[in-house]
Amino acid sequence: MFSILKPLPTDPILGLMAAYRQDTNPNKIDLGVGVFKDESGHTPVLKSVKKAEAFRLENETSKSYIGLAGDLGFCNKMEIQLLGEHKALLANRVRTAQTPGGTGALRVAAEFIVRCNPNATVWVTTPTWANHISLFEAAGLTVKEYPYYDYENKGLLFDEMITALKQVPKGDVVLLHACCHNPSGMDLNIEQWKIVAELAVEVGFTPLVDIAYQGFGTGLDDDAAGLRLLAEYVDELIICSSCSKNFGLYRERIGACSIVSSDAKVADVANSVLLSVVRSIYSMPPAHGAAIVDTILGSTELTALWHQELAEMRDRINGLRTLIVDSLNAQGIDQDFSFIKHQFGMFSFLGINKEQIDRLQKEYGIYMVGSSRVNVAGVSHANIDYFSKAVASVLK
């Protein structure tokens, strides 16, 4: 059976990770992997998480299964964090299942969509997170793209986006990034969200919102504003969320898939299908990460500490965007990089070509994805001069 298999290409990000580890250049910089890094290049465990873990270690009384939906306290608190005091919550129209990370949430959502409409097409932004397409296709769904990022002008192709979404067949699904778009860093503003929400109602597509970076843009509430506005308009909505970035719980694999339905009765039916999907994929989610988040959000003291730490991470990222632009400008480069300051989250396209990307890697040990997408958190005050001089060198 196995002898008929043919090797598949390595995921570009994983390949970059391996190449970076083997590089002996003492000045090497990893701008590929999408994790937050502090000034020393380390991805720390938050103090709020450490305190919650200490509490859990002292108070956990069982290692029994936690049920198909996972930690119900976590699910409830995530709904509030995502939607605030929304009418959908007040009307008992929301159901949530804890999932193994945001990736798990997306795969659960994909299988849920298949149960609802196996012929549905999922529409994603051009570009989008690379794994979006493979996750939906693995569930048997057709994936198509709609215009989003303007590579030439480093902005949004919003008019083209709306023109394309007007052609989406009723019953299809449109994936939207709530904030900190991966990989471009370009987000919709609230007026644009309103237009999309009105269009969803008019056309009849179902929005699927991926919110993996809440709090990394401008703030927890601001980053969810588009999602909340969308939920004001549509009767049905799928939300995939992650705690990897904003809680720093990458390896704990903690996320959630939330379904917003037209009323409580429909929500109960949808929930039964959602949990059936969970049962058929992994049966029961792990407990630790959800318990940590539940403990933090259930404590006034720990929530305040987490908000402080989240603000520090967000301020670092936003500050690095300005630092990168100023440092590149100081090199006398003709190319305009000012767009980086007007984006949100960890990612941006530098807008350099493949030959220049290859030179940065081979000559300077600076690693980024072939599209020129960089994780700005990989830059620091210690390596910014080296980075900017290297970029200037390959551009001249």
HEC readout, 51-117: HHHHHHHHHCCCCCCCCCCCCHHHHHHHHHHHHCCCHHHHCCCEEEEEEEHHHHHHHHHHHHHHHHC
Residues 174 and 260 grouped into a single domain: yes
pTM for this entry: 0.96
User: Does residue 369 sit within a domain?
Assistant: yes
Dmax over Cα atoms in the chain, in whole Å?
A: 63
| 1 found inside a domain | no
Considering the domain boundaries, does residue 234 fall inside one? yes
For the record, the structure tokens of 66 come out as 């936690």
**Is residue 54 one of the residues assigned to a domain?**
no
* One domain for residues 30 and 110: no
Q: Per residue of the chain (396 residues), what is the pLDDT tens digit? A: 999 999 988 777 778 888 899 999 999 999 998 899 999 999 999 999 999 999 999 999 999 999 999 999 999 999 999 999 899 999 999 999 999 999 999 999 999 999 999 999 999 999 999 899 999 999 999 999 999 999 999 999 999 999 999 999 999 999 999 999 999 999 999 999 999 999 999 999 999 999 999 999 999 999 999 999 999 999 999 999 999 999 999 999 999 999 999 999 999 999 999 999 999 999 999 999 999 999 999 999 999 999 999 999 999 999 999 999 999 999 999 899 999 999 999 999 999 999 999 999 999 999 999 999 999 999 999 999 999 999 999 998
Q: Which residue has the tokens 């598949």?
A: 8
Q: How much helix, strand and coil, in percent to the nearest 5, is found in the chain?
A: 50, 15, 35
334 and 187 inside one domain: no
- 94 phi-psi bin (left φ>0, alpha ψ -120 to 50, beta other): beta
- Are 36 and 69 found together in one domain? no
Domain final residue pick, 253, 276, 298: 298
Can you tell me the distance from the alpha carbon of 30 to that of 1, in angstroms, rounded to the nearest whole number? Answer: 39
- Examine the domain organization and report whether 386 and 251 are in the same domain: no
Structural domain total, the chain:
2
Both 91 and 14 in one domain: the answer is no
- Ramachandran class of 369: left when φ > 0, alpha when ψ lies in -120 to 50, beta otherwise: beta
Sign of the alpha-carbon dihedral angle for 130, 134, 135, 141: positive
What is the residue whose two structure tokens read 């967000």? 314
Looking at the structure, do residues 152 and 286 belong to the same domain, yes or no?
yes
Which domain CATH number covers 161?
Answer: 3.40.640.10
The domain boundary, picked from 247, 263, 298, lies at: 298
Residue 255 included in any domain: yes
Residues β-bridged to residue 237 = 260
Q: Are residues 309 and 289 in the same domain?
A: no
Mark whether 79 and 24 lie in a shared domain. Answer: no
Of the candidates 318, 327, 348, the residue with the CA atom closest to the CA atom of residue 151: 348
Using the 3D structure, point to which of 298, 317, 335 is the last residue of a domain. Answer: 298
**Range of 277's domain?**
65-298
Whether 267 is in a domain gets the answer yes
CATH number of the domain where residue 330 is located: 3.90.1150.10
Active site residues: 129, 210, 245
Claim to verify: residue 181 and residue 222 sit in the same structural domain = yes
**C-alpha distance from residue 81 to each of 74, 85, 107, 298, 370 (Å):** 10, 9, 22, 12, 35
User: Is there a domain that residue 58 lies in?
Assistant: no
- The answer on 325 and 191 residing in a single domain is no
- Assess whether 237 and 260 both reside in one domain: yes
91, 307 in Cβ contact below 8 A? no
Any domain includes 90: yes
